[in-house]
A and B are shown apart, each in its own frame.
Chain A
Amino acid sequence: MMRQVAIIGAGMIPFGRRDEDTLLDMLAYASLKALDDAGMGDKGVDAVYVANMGAGILQHQTSVASALVDRLSLMPAAADAIENGPASGASAIKNGVLAVASGYYDYVLVAGGEKMREVVGWKATDFVCTMTHPEAEYPYGVTLPGMAGMFTRLYMEQYGLTREQLIAVAIKNQKMGSLNPNAHVEMIITKEGIADSPDSVVNNPMAADPLHLYDMCPVSDGAAAVILCPLELAKKVTKKTPVVVAGFGQATDTHTLQEREDPTDLKAVTLASRQAFEMAKLTPKDVDFAELHDAFTILEIAESEHAGFFKKGAGGKAVEKGETSLGGKLPINMSGGLKARGHPVGATGVAQVVDSVFQLRHELGKDRQVKGAKIGFTLNFGGFGNNVVAFVLTRAE
């Protein structure tokens, strides 16, 4: 019988361009915030999982988990680095949850971090492209935004998705990011500024046809961390309301888009979400808010449909009608999402959970807090949907 796992501490540092900090600095700062948030004091942890995608390429640094344990004086804790592309963060949490649920470890620190802004743009782009297939995709220069562009056009053709619906996602998430002190992008945008005025051609140029600059998340530095323990021990450590990892799921799909029978079908999103809901004995209708992986505006809409919140083709209309805004049927990305919070790839899956913990503990201001939130959902999307991790999180009363 697996133990129920609680998140008793959550911390993150503001995402953005952090020239003054090393990757290890950022991981350490976020970890200390999570340890302090949990009220762990000087208590150690049994194990540390560090999510990071690119230190080996971007910083010429390996063994970041061992380095973090040393930096935080957490020896002799077990330490592992987890690399699963942009889904590294949620993968690391899933491994931490399994370790606690199994009874093997009681206290686990999971930290995710990435430092992407210290290299020039084309190097950062090339780094992210290393996720693509080395023979069938990478040589052609296809980027992840490029894949999203192809996906978007097909979605428009098959489901009637409109550019206005994508713009609505961008406007909503940048508005929420402007209210999040940890967000990379704090600028509110308008439809006039990015689509309807003569200046919009300059403000919002094409990035990967039919997607424009404001359909993309920024390239960010940042880190986030959580502390896990068995639910039965949680109240002995923290005075804050624990958050329970009620369900999780992970699924994979083909490496190349071309080998998917229907390239608009994000099977791994559907399967991972279904697993998470089944484990939690809940359904999408029970969820009070979601943090989805909107690296591109299209993904928020497509994921909201594939995770079961809306029927295929209905997600875009839901955004336009305000159903995914604060006060709507299902608020999505009240953190600003990747679009505004930023996307330091190894940190993102952890940051989604950290922001959900803040929501479930009812710690946010009125302008971002989902009233009475008890159940949250997160989805971390690796590659172009070839490795997806989902969580259902609940407030422990």
Chain B
Amino acid sequence: MDEIKITAYKCKKCGRIHFPFHDRCLDCIARDFEEIKPEGPVRLLAFTEIYNLPWGFDVRTLKIGVVEFANKVKAMGQIDVDEMGDLKTGMKLTAYWEPVRKTADEDVFGLVFR
């Protein structure tokens, strides 16, 4: 399985975790961060299924969600389940690093939850 290649940033002063990157902490405006990797299973915080897709997707619909990893990193990704009825806010899922779209015939990798 491919390693999840996103980096989150923990403020060295107040401990707030950021993803994506900010030059200054969203809480205390400090500028020093420790790089951390998302870890563990994820908890589903929000989700939807989109029927009108932008450029770059050769599928009929996309299920998208925001999750929180066990170490508090929050991130968006695609959800791979058969039915929307399979999803509930707060449920546990596992995160994978897989192709999420194509750009110029090249796979673009990102988070997929299932």
Chain B residues within 8 Å of A257, by CB? 46, 66
Chain B residues within 8 Å of A321, by CB? none
Q: Are B76 and A143 in contact (CB under 8 A)?
A: no
Q: Please report which residues of chain A, range 136-167, place their CB below 8 angstroms from some CB of chain B when the two chains form the complex.
A: 136-137, 139-143, 145-146, 149-151, 153-154, 157
| A205-B61 Cα distance, complex, nearest whole Å | 13
Chain A residues within 8 Å of B30, by CB? none
* B91 CB-CB contact with A under 8 Å: no
Q: Are A149 and B48 in contact (CB under 8 A)?
A: yes
Q: Are B66 and A143 in contact (CB under 8 A)?
A: no
* A235 CB-CB contact with B under 8 Å: no
Chain B residues within 8 Å of A133, by CB? 20
| A141-B99 Cα distance, complex, nearest whole Å | 12
| A205-B49 Cα distance, complex, nearest whole Å | 12
How many residues on the A side are at the interface (Cβ–Cβ under 8 A)?
35
Name the contact of B55 in the complex, choosing from A123, A208, A254 (C-beta under 8 A): A123
**Interface of A, helix, strand, loop or mixed by DSSP:** helix
**Interface of B, helix, strand, loop or mixed by DSSP:** strand
| A254-B77 Cα distance, complex, nearest whole Å | 18
| A133-B20 Cα distance, complex, nearest whole Å | 9
Chain B residues within 8 Å of A136, by CB? 19-20, 75-76
Q: Please report which residues of chain B, range 1-51, place their CB below 8 angstroms from some CB of chain A when the two chains form the complex.
A: 18-20, 26, 45-51
Chain B residues within 8 Å of A254, by CB? 26
Bin chain B's interface residue count: 20 to 34
* B64 CB-CB contact with A under 8 Å: yes
Chain B residues within 8 Å of A208, by CB? 48-52
Q: Are A143 and B52 in contact (CB under 8 A)?
A: yes
Chain A residues within 8 Å of B84, by CB? 209
| A129-B57 Cα distance, complex, nearest whole Å | 13
| A258-B26 Cα distance, complex, nearest whole Å | 13
| A207-B52 Cα distance, complex, nearest whole Å | 7
Pick the most buried of B18, B54, B75, B108: most chain A CB atoms within 10 A of its CB.
B54
Min Cβ gap A254→B in Å is: 7
Min Cβ gap B31→A in Å is: 17
Given known contacts A256-B76, A258-B75, A126 and B48 CB-to-CB distance under 8 angstroms: no
Chain B residues within 8 Å of A140, by CB? 62, 64, 76-78, 100-101, 110-111
Min Cβ gap B45→A in Å is: 8
Given pairs A123-B55, A136-B76, A141-B78, 15 additional interface contacts (CB within 8 A): A122-B52, A125-B53, A139-B108, A140-B64, A140-B78, A141-B56, A142-B76, A143-B52, A146-B64, A150-B46, A150-B64, A154-B89, A209-B49, A258-B75, A263-B45
Report B's interface with A, CB cutoff 8 A: 18-20, 26, 45-57, 62, 64-66, 74-78, 84, 89, 100-101, 108, 110-111
